[in-house]
Structure 1
Amino acid sequence: MQIQKELVKLNQYFDNKEDAIRYCGNLLVEGGYVTADYVPAMIKRNEELSVYMGNFIAIPHGTDEAKRDVKKTGITIVQVPRGVSFGSADDTEKIATILFGIAGVGNEHLELIQKISIFCADVDNVVKLADATSVDEIVNLLEAVEA
């Protein structure tokens, strides 16, 4: 998993899940990974099927139709210490403290989701990401997955 330091953001705050997803998408746009049309597709994906994965993580990504808007595979990692709710008004349990915004060429997004899911299946790893105090610390934790 190739982590670009400029796509890792610490100590962010969002009023709602749409703002959080939009932020992840805009980072991908600014980095040249996707076109601006990918961002609304990320919000639509969450409306169709929640991008909340459990263990305090969410993996915002676009719909299948939005694959045409992906220029190159990329991933953003956004730390949200106070958390952001990915649940509904009835379901307040889905709080994400780490967001992984992804875009993949072809089926590369599936590989990214798999690697993230394996790493984050251990909630201690999520806590380490949430408690990290530097971009380098997050990069080192995630790049260790490759080793």
Structure 2
Amino acid sequence: MAKEILTTDNIEIGVSLSTKEEAIRYAGKVLLDNGYIEPAYIDKMVERDQVSTTYIGNKVAIPHGTEDAKESVEDTGLSIVITKDSVSFDGNDVNILIGIAAKGNEHLEILSKIAIVCSEEENIERIIHAKSKQEIIDIFGEVN
């Protein structure tokens, strides 16, 4: 049976990160620690951001692996990391990192749902100031 895509175990709030690469690796480590990916996927997440930024606007970055990283994915899953202070992604402030690991093309549907949630300024503020992991799951409720 496939794992749940987003659980409270996949969410970290108030994390202190200083660099873009550290932030991407942290989002990847959450996926790794929860059994969604193999270690090699994290390097592919860093590589993917070097090819084309994973910053999507509105203080959000969506680190994910390169196309050839799919073989390092065990299960489709998300990690959500809320930073204490913003991290610079090529001059853009990021406070919300959404790590994605996807089997097949499942990520396309997930990405569109994330984009809808993250396009609302109000949702961004709610996510950044969330007091609990459950609050974040409720905001992304439709992603599951």
Q: TM-score, normalised to structure 2's length? A: 0.93
Match of 1:38 in 2: 41
Q: How far is 1:140 from its partner?
A: 1.3
Contact 2:117 2:139 survives alignment (8 Å) = no
Q: CA deviation at 1:146?
A: 5.6
Which position in structure 2 is the counterpart of 1:73? 76
* Equivalent residue pairs, number: 141
CA shift for structure 1 position 2: 3.9
What does residue 59 of structure 1 align with? Answer: 62
Q: Within 1, Cα distance between the matches of 2:43 and 2:143?
A: 31
Letter in 1 for 2:109: E
Q: Which amino acid aligns with 2:139?
A: L
Which letter does structure 2 place at the counterpart of 1:43? V
Given that residues 55 and 61 in structure 2 are in contact (C-alpha distance below 8 angstroms), is that contact kept between their aligned partners in structure 1?
Answer: yes
Give the aligned partner of residue 83 of structure 1: 86
1:14 aligns with 2:12: no
Structure 1 match to 2:124: 126
Q: Secondary structure at the match of 2:14?
A: coil
Q: Could you tell me which residue of structure 2 aligns to residue 102 of structure 1?
A: 100
Provide the rounded CA distance (Å) in 2 between the counterparts of 1:146 and 1:7: 13
Q: Post-superposition shift, 1:81?
A: 3.1
Instruction: For residues 42-67 of structure 1, give each alpha carbon's deviation from its aligned partner in whole angstroms, at most 9, with x where no partner exists.
Output: 00000000000001100000000101
Q: Secondary structure at the match of 1:84?
A: strand
Any idea what SS the aligned residue of 1:101 has?
strand
Which runs of no fewer than 5 residues in structure 1 stay unpaired? none
Contact 2:110–2:143 (CA<8 Å) still a contact in 1? no
- The structural deviation recorded for 1:13 is 1.1
> What letter corresponds to residue 33 of structure 1 in structure 2?
Y
Aligned partners of 1:146 and 1:53: how far apart in 2?
A: 18
1:84-114 superposed Cα distances (whole Å, 9 cap, x missing partner): 1111xxxx2x111111001000011111111
- The CA deviation at 1:137 is 1.0
- Over aligned residue pairs, what C-alpha RMSD do you find? 1.4
Q: TM-score, normalised by structure 1?
A: 0.91
| Residues 30-52 of structure 1 deviation map (CA, whole Å, 9 limit, x = unaligned) | 11111000000000000000000
SS at 1:10 equivalent: strand
User: Which residue does the alignment assign to 2:139?
Assistant: 141
